[in-house]
Amino acid sequence: MSEVAFQSAPDVLIDTAREAQADLCTEELLINMGPQHPATHGVLRVVLHTDGEMVLGAYPHIGYLHRCAEKIGENVQPQQFVPYTDRMDYCAGMNNNQAFALAIERLAGIEVPQRAQAIRVMFAEFNRIASHLISLGCYGLDMGAFTPFLYCFREREMILDMFEATCGARLTYNYMTPGGVTHDLPEGFVERAREFCDYFEPKIDDYNNLLSYNHIFVKRTSKVGVIPAKLALAYGMTGTCLRASGVRWDLRKSAPYDGYEQYEFDIPIGVPGGVGQIPRGVVVGDCFCRYYVRVLEMSQSVRIIRQVLDTLPEGDVIAKKTKNIKLPAGAEVYVEAEVGRGQLGFYVQGDGSAIPARVKARGPSFSNLSVLSEVAKNHLIGDMPAIIGSIDMVMGEVDR
């Protein structure tokens, strides 16, 4: 009689299962996510190293939108390069204009009028809100929620209407320029801006009820893609991605420019679930925190805009020394500004003429995206849209 005959029935089943398991083997695959994929938020190709549904590694491939922006900046005058900054982060063109203008002004020794500084701050915050509305609406769409997308774009259209009334453009503005702004505010703009703030602030509660407190959305984003503060700092992350990891760092507070030191506002950071109105289960630095910090920032932007409207000074909107700007030979500056996605910096070197000898941009999305290969490990393929969307990069600014 065979040895198996002396074993009980359960033992036979266990041995058979072990033999079958020994014959099984998994197959690791490389899967392309993008470059034409709705969840990559642009022409981004991510090569996923997978084992079944598990992601073992994610490797971003960039450059599909590269258009030599920095080299162009070394062949045109500063005012001519401002429209190219609009095309970097095309969701926040005002903020990009401001960052480059600050660099040129510091290099050329241009003093910006007080009214122009106040207008810059107001429009930078309006564009921050518009940028975050795109992020919120598209992120909800990535997670399967369509209605918040419509709500967010409804309010964004109102901001773009105000931009159009001021400078004639709705996406690429060329409004903030070295020395100030190109146009003064149109008649009735202050009242229109106040009306928008009164209308918009209660809408943030609607976004929270539709998305932030939605059980399915919280489950899709909480404890997913956790980026600890140490890892975020090691990869040079800035903006909402860094603050969501618990680091309270914002250039508007730590290194204010254009008069930001005059205004009172708070810097939201990521906090664990169960604190305040944040749903339980949320971990500092996860996808939900990166999303929710942007929601909180919109309230602070409205707070800043109200203060600007209350204290808007009279006077010129552009400095007189702007027609024939000469950049000192051998002089160089590096200036950063807090834009919608983090710290945007411009390095500019002069050679004595009106055209810079060197222009270099430090884009926040480039650094924020670099952490993807680290944070995507050991997540499911289905979590990748949540992780990529929470980083909120714009590929025009990554590739330049």
Rounded CA gap, 77 and 376, in Å?
A: 42
Whether 165 shows a pLDDT value over 70: the answer reads yes
Global pTM?
0.88
The tokens for 311 are 């204290």
- Per 3-state DSSP, the chain is made up of helix, strand and coil in percentages (nearest 5) of 50, 10, 35
Per-residue model confidence (pLDDT) at position 6:
40
Whether 192 shows a pLDDT value over 90: the answer reads yes
Q: What are phi and psi of 181, to 5 degrees?
A: -130, 155
- Nearest-10 crossing angle of helices 189-207, 114-142: 30
First and final CA of the chain: distance in angstroms?
77
| Pairing of the two strands 28-33 and 358-362 | unpaired
Q: Is residue 45 part of a domain?
A: no
How many structural domains comprise the chain? 1
Per-residue model confidence (pLDDT) at position 265:
93
Higher pLDDT, 14 or 332: 332
The parent domain of residue 359 ranges over 68-399
Element (H, E) at 337: strand 332-339
User: How would residue 34 be classed by pLDDT, with cut points 50, 70 and 90?
Assistant: confident
User: How would residue 15 be classed by pLDDT, with cut points 50, 70 and 90?
Assistant: low
Region 51-79: what's the mean pLDDT? 89
Q: Is residue 100 part of a domain?
A: yes
| % the chain with pLDDT above 90 | 49
The angle at the Cα of 103, spanning 98 to 106, to the nearest 5 degrees, equals 120
The angle at the Cα of 337, spanning 68 to 305, to the nearest 5 degrees, equals 125
pLDDT digits (tens, 9 = 90+) for 251-295: 999 999 998 999 999 999 888 887 778 888 888 989 999 999 999
Whether 193 shows a pLDDT value over 80: the answer reads yes
Region 379-394: what's the mean pLDDT? 89
Whether 11 shows a pLDDT value over 90: the answer reads no
Mean pLDDT of the chain: 87
Q: Is residue 221 part of a domain?
A: yes
**CATH code of 346's domain:** 1.10.645.10
Q: Is residue 21 part of a domain?
A: no
Q: What are phi and psi of 175, to 5 degrees?
A: -100, -50
Per-residue model confidence (pLDDT) at position 36:
77
Per-residue model confidence (pLDDT) at position 21:
56
Q: Is residue 63 part of a domain?
A: no
